[in-house]
């Protein structure tokens, strides 16, 4: 038997490839299926089942393409109602793969179809659980995503999750290996550990959610501090449940090189958003007016989903040459399948054609210190938790993920400084501000990390600021 965790850091997502004798299964595959097909061919094994722990919200699964290319059936847990052919497992139903078995344990709470898969090895020993979003390392799945207006609240779901954990997972042996669907950085939980594999016994000791004295305390603690989920989550659920276009077709349409002249006309005619995926250090020196910068070398796909939201919005790409396929692949992971093409020759082609370009004023932390005074206005776009831990004294906390709510409150007549932790998120914010006609600001390279290293500015962990900008 072989168990391989295929972990994708930019999504903090774990898929699982398991082989026994000449048969294999894949649990929670990502959208692009070629890596799985390559593994199957290399190992000379047949894919018997594709197991889905639930209808994922934060990424589009590869279950449909994988099933079409291999003939393997898709398996969901009880109560799932996909709009395509699938096996709907019964609670505790056994599936045989080579010399091992997989038992479906219905564990609702995160969603009502959520199911944990228990692996029973060749010696009939319960060995591992693949918990999806039911149990993470250090946390449990958020129970606010599947609530239904008028019939089910997040409190109801949290209570159901408590029952699932205590009736199906916690009775298992401490030696059981826990393989979750997500790790630290995912928006599917709030307190995840950096590790991606653990044993159940250690989780009993270290996971706050498993150490609550009763159901009431569990509900209170699990719901406490939850921020609003990214708005694209519901669209990804719909795609996973209802179906989507083949990634092959998405790739064929998106890998369309567009000349400078056609690119400009295309943008005007279609209303497409121009997405510039270059490094912030390159973007600030020059970019196509009104384009949005979300750098490929970062948490690219989650930020696209959180800020653009509408997965059906047409996109035109400005990317470093040779990265276009990777960009389209990573966009597809969160359901953004409507890439119309990319600028042939990249930004250099636009610049060399003498077309209009825009810039973001960027300074070093040292320059910021030199220019800063008691009347300076500073906007910090880090997460609230980062800001609360430490920030430039009197800076305004305006998290990037809520920029659509606060951008209209910015007074462009008053200059302000803009920063995040290292420069990635603040350049995203800068590009969005620019697209709204807000230009009277200076972005700080290196962000708060660089500012702190200067040791020349007062920092505070005391939150005291007005609500207006």
Task: Tell me how far apart the alpha carbons of residues 188 and 182 are, in angstroms, rounded to a whole number.
Answer: 8
Cα dist from 435 to 11, 408, 431, whole Å: 27, 12, 6
Task: Tell me how far apart the alpha carbons of residues 158 and 155 are, in angstroms, rounded to a whole number.
Answer: 5
pTM of the model: 0.92
Segment 395-448, tens digit of pLDDT: 999 999 999 999 999 999 999 999 999 999 999 999 999 999 999 999 999 999
Segment 319-361, tens digit of pLDDT: 999 999 999 999 999 999 999 999 999 999 999 999 999 999 9
Q: How many other CB atoms sit within 10 Å of the CB of residue 312?
A: 9
Residue 104 has pLDDT above 80, yes or no: yes
At residue 463, the pLDDT reads 56
Nearest CA to 53 out of 102, 99, 12 is that of 102
Residue 7 near residue 14 (C-beta atoms within 8 A): yes
At residue 215, the pLDDT reads 98
């Amino acid at each position: 038997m072989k168990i391989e965790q295929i972990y994708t850091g930019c999504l903090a997502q774990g898929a699982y490839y398991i082989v026994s004798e000449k048969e294999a299964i894949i649990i929670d595959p990502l959208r692009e299926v070629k890596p799985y097909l390559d593994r199957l061919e290399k190992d000379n094994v047949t894919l018997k089942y594709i197991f889905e722990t639930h209808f994922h919200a934060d990424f589009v699964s590869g279950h449909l393409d994988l099933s079409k290319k291999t003939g393997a059936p898709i398996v969901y847990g009880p109560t799932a109602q996909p709009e395509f052919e699938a096996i709907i497992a019964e609670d505790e139903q056994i599936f045989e793969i080579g010399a091992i078995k997989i038992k479906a344990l219905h564990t609702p709470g995160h969603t009502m179809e959520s199911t944990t898969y228990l692996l029973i090895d060749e010696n009939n020993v319960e060995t591992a659980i693949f918990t999806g979003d039911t149990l993470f390392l250090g946390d449990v799945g958020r129970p606010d995503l599947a609530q239904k207006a008028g019939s089910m609240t997040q409190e109801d779901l949290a209570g159901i999750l408590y029952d699932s954990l205590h009736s199906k997972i916690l009775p298992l042996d401490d030696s059981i290996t826990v393989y979750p669907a997500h790790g630290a950085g995912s928006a599917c939980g709030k307190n995840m550990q950096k590790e991606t594999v653990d044993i159940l016994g250690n989780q009993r000791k270290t996971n706050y959610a498993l150490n609550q004295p009763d159901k009431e305390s569990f509900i209170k603690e699990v719901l406490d501090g939850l921020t609003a989920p990214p708005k694209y989550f519901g669209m990804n659920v719909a795609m996973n449940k209802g179906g989507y276009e083949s990634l092959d077709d998405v790739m064929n349409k998106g890998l369309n090189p567009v000349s400078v002249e056609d690119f400009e006309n295309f943008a005007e005619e279609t209303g497409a958003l121009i997405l510039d995926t270059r490094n912030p250090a390159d973007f600030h020196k020059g970019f196509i007016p009104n384009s949005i910068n979300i750098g490929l070398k970062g948490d690219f796909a989650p930020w696209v989903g959180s800020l653009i939201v509408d997965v059906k919005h047409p996109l035109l790409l400005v990317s470093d040459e040779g990265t276009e396929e990777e960009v389209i692949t990573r966009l597809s992971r969160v359901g953004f399948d409507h890439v119309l093409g990319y600028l042939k020759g990249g930004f250099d082609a636009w610049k060399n054609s003498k077309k209009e370009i825009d810039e973001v004023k960027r300074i070093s932390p040292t320059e910021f210190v030199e220019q800063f005074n008691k009347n300076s206005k500073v906007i910090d776009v880090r997460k609230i938790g980062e800001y609360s831990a430490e920030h430039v004294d009197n800076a305004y906390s305006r998290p990037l993920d809520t920029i659509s709510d606060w951008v209209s409150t910015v007074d462009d007549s008053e200059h302000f400084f803009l920063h995040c932790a290292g420069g990635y998120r603040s350049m995203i914010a800068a590009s969005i501000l620019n697209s709204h006609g807000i230009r009277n600001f200076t972005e700080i390279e290196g962000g708060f990390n660089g500012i702190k290293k200067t040791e020349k500015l007062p920092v505070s962990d005391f939150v005291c600021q007005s609500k207006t900008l």
